[in-house]
């Protein structure tokens, strides 16, 4: 096990009107709600997007654990598709007092940098407020993509807490070559 020092930023937004929208107008670009997420599909997306960015917390979860988390926590999932290919996803986690956490969010590596991230986040925040959220929040760690934090701020989210922490990474971690 290796320990990496990380910085975690927590961000929040309180109203749909505070979103700075960004959109990519491209035919065949869609964002669709996954009506009943298959745990294997959710795990595939989590692993495929997060592998490069040290998303290890649920990497080794069994499908049973995914199922329990998704259905036990009332998680909802959206996918972004371009020309019929899955290119990104996000998951919303409704919590007490009408808080909604953007639990996971990201694009597959080959689609980063084309404006899709801002478009997807605009959609995620809008969907969360459509679910009657009074506050949407998330956290991002310094091992995430360098533009993750910028994207959240650019869309109107505000940092409310910054923490220094340590991320334990198992030696056998399939993502371990991502860390420099």
Interface positions with ligand COA (CB under 6 A) = 22, 49, 53, 105-107, 112-118, 140, 144-145, 147-148, 150-151, 154
CA distance 124 to 108: 16
Minimum CB distance to ligand COA smaller for 70 or for 144? 144
- The least distance separating ligand COA from the CB of residue 138, rounded to whole angstroms, comes to 6
Q: Are 47 and 60 in contact (CB under 8 A)?
A: no
- C-beta of 74: minimal distance to ligand COA in Å? 21
Give 9 or 64: the residue with its C-beta nearer to ligand COA: 9
List Cβ neighbours of 103 (8 Å cut-off, separation of 6 or more).
Answer: 75, 91, 92, 93, 138
Q: Least CB distance from residue 145 to ligand COA, whole Å?
A: 3
Give the residue with the Cβ less far from ligand COA, 70 or 102.
102
- Residue 35 is given by DSSP the state S
């Amino acid at each position: 096990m290796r320990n990496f020092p990380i910085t975690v930023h927590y961000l929040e937004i309180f109203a749909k009107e505070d979103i700075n929208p960004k959109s990519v107008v491209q035919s065949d670009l869609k964002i669709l709600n996954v009506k009943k997420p298959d745990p294997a599909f959710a795990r595939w997306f989590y692993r495929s997007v997060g592998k490069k960015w040290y998303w290890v917390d649920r990497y080794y979860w069994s499908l049973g654990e995914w199922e329990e988390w998704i259905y036990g926590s009332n998680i909802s999932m959206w996918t972004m598709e371009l020309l019929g290919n899955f290119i990104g996803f996000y998951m919303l986690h409704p919590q007490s007092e009408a808080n909604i956490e953007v639990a996971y969010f990201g694009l597959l590596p080959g689609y980063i940098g084309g404006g899709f991230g801002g478009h997807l986040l605009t959609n995620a925040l809008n969907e969360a407020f459509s679910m009657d959220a009074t506050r949407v929040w998330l956290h991002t760690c310094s091992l995430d993509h360098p533009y993750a934090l910028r994207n959240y701020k650019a869309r109107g989210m505000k940092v409310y807490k910054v923490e220094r922490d340590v991320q334990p990474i198992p030696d056998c971690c399939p993502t371990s070559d991502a860390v420099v």
